Structure 1
């Protein structure tokens, strides 16, 4: 079963209902909501494998040369509240200073009647130190995943919750080259029935 979730166009809600039948009296019943956390995604082997990405761009307008970046993360899966370490090897063989930028965003996908709706929200953004013209530099950035961010949901037929790490180079007067890597966010405490807040906060 998928984890509990409340999103822009839909939600996944679990309830527990108890009913008491008594002779010669009207039955009585009560109902309560509870938050469910799924362990399904944690058993996927690729979650522990390093992620890589590479991008190169030639610059022609208002500047000259080329820039390239090699990106590495330690793995795909992370717990709520954990630090996501990104290592970027940047070669700035151009005449402009460039700035590496990092963002983690959430993608909610809702399926109904053969169509779908997508809602994207930024979770966090970070900026690295400038890489000056005609230099090569290794930049390391640790992104702190919020404790209250929703977990990844991939095992539901009507709602998916996915995450992407985007790394891009901010280049003046040029289209920014970017790399996107998948990120799976797991519950910090995977116990079933544990009450956890949802993200974004209501």
Structure 2
């Protein structure tokens, strides 16, 4: 083949390799050819978009229909045969072409991939030799919004996103009686890898011993057309050893660490959202 290699790369602006609104994105296109090659056009595109696959109804598989929202799109034409006389030629061997884009300085959601949708930021390059000979290459780059903690409703027990202590009560009815769990926390706004102390006051008025269990509930929300779909996933913080005997009151304190690779809460995308809730349940010991 005449075009042996086509690739698009970008330069990192920080150790993590992520970009944010207002950053300058620079990179290069590398084209390797076996001989001199006439081209109609060589271009590179930068794009940020959200995409949701419409879930199937009543347990059916998802449809092929997708809803999209574009946050930005730029195009940089490197080579173009405007006259159509074949004057644009790529030399034999390795050829490198540089480009630069400036990412818009406005609120956009971070890169994310969930159950029914994803938010991606990518570079595309396309080399057109004729209407039948088109070569393409793509690479995605991580994007991190500057909105550290978007606004969330205070009625939700968010552990990443709400910077204030919170107190809640949960009443559980068992066949042998009632169990009341009062949960309090020192803070609710956390970053990945951080820890917080959670206290659970368990009023066990049942005839069974109970063991408090702490869970982190991930709530993904997707909007496609007129449909709103919610996908939840509970992650346990590990086995519990504290046992509250029957007919007693006991306070259980636990320091919970947020997994370091957990995606942060976001609410600045109209097609999808992500939030977390801290849940305290129990297991019974007969």
Q: CA deviation at 1:140?
A: 0.8
Instruction: Give 2:254's aligned residue.
Output: 141
Alignment pair present for 1:12 and 2:119: yes
Structure 1 CA distance, aligned partners of 2:283 and 2:113? Answer: 34
Aligned residues between the structures: 161
| C-alpha contact (below 8 Å) 1:104/1:166 kept by paired residues | yes
Instruction: Give 1:115's aligned residue.
Output: 227
Alignment pair present for 1:166 and 2:279: yes
Higher relative contact order (CA 8 A, sep 6+): 1
Residue from 127, 146, 150 that aligns with 1:39: 146
Structure 1 CA distance, aligned partners of 2:233 and 2:113? Answer: 14
String of CA shifts for 1:84-121, please: whole Å, max 9, x gaps: 32101112233211111110021111111110222222
Structure 1 CA distance, aligned partners of 2:179 and 2:234? Answer: 26
Within 5 Å, give how 1:40-59 maps onto structure 2.
Answer: 40-42=147-149, 44=151, 47-57=162-172, 59=174
Q: Match of 1:77, SS?
A: coil
Residue from 126, 130, 137 that aligns with 2:238: 126
* RMSD of aligned residue pairs (Cα, Å): 2.6
Q: CA deviation at 1:158?
A: 0.5
Residue from 86, 97, 106 that aligns with 2:218: 106
Structure 2 CA distance, aligned partners of 1:103 and 1:58? Answer: 19
Q: CA deviation at 1:172?
A: 5.9
- Which consecutive residues of structure 2, in runs of 5 or more, have no partner in the other structure? 1-107, 127-135, 155-161
The TM-score normalised by the length of structure 1 is: 0.69
Within 5 Å, give how 1:146-157 maps onto structure 2.
Answer: 146-157=259-270
Q: CA deviation at 1:12?
A: 0.2
Q: CA deviation at 1:127?
A: 3.9
String of CA shifts for 1:155-202, please: whole Å, max 9, x gaps: 1000111111111122468xxxxxxxxxxxxxxxxxxxxxxxxxxxxx
* CA separation of 1:135 and 1:55: change in aligned 2, threshold 3 A: same
String of CA shifts for 1:94-153, please: whole Å, max 9, x gaps: 321111111002111111111022222233333431101122111011222111111111
| C-alpha contact (below 8 Å) 2:222/2:272 kept by paired residues | yes
Instruction: Give 1:76's aligned residue.
Output: 188
Structure 1 CA distance, aligned partners of 2:265 and 2:285? Answer: 35
Larger radius of gyration: 2
- Which consecutive residues of structure 1, in runs of 5 or more, have no partner in the other structure? 20-28, 174-202
Q: Which piece of structure 1 moves more, 7-16 or 125-134?
A: 125-134
* CA separation of 1:16 and 1:40: change in aligned 2, threshold 3 A: same
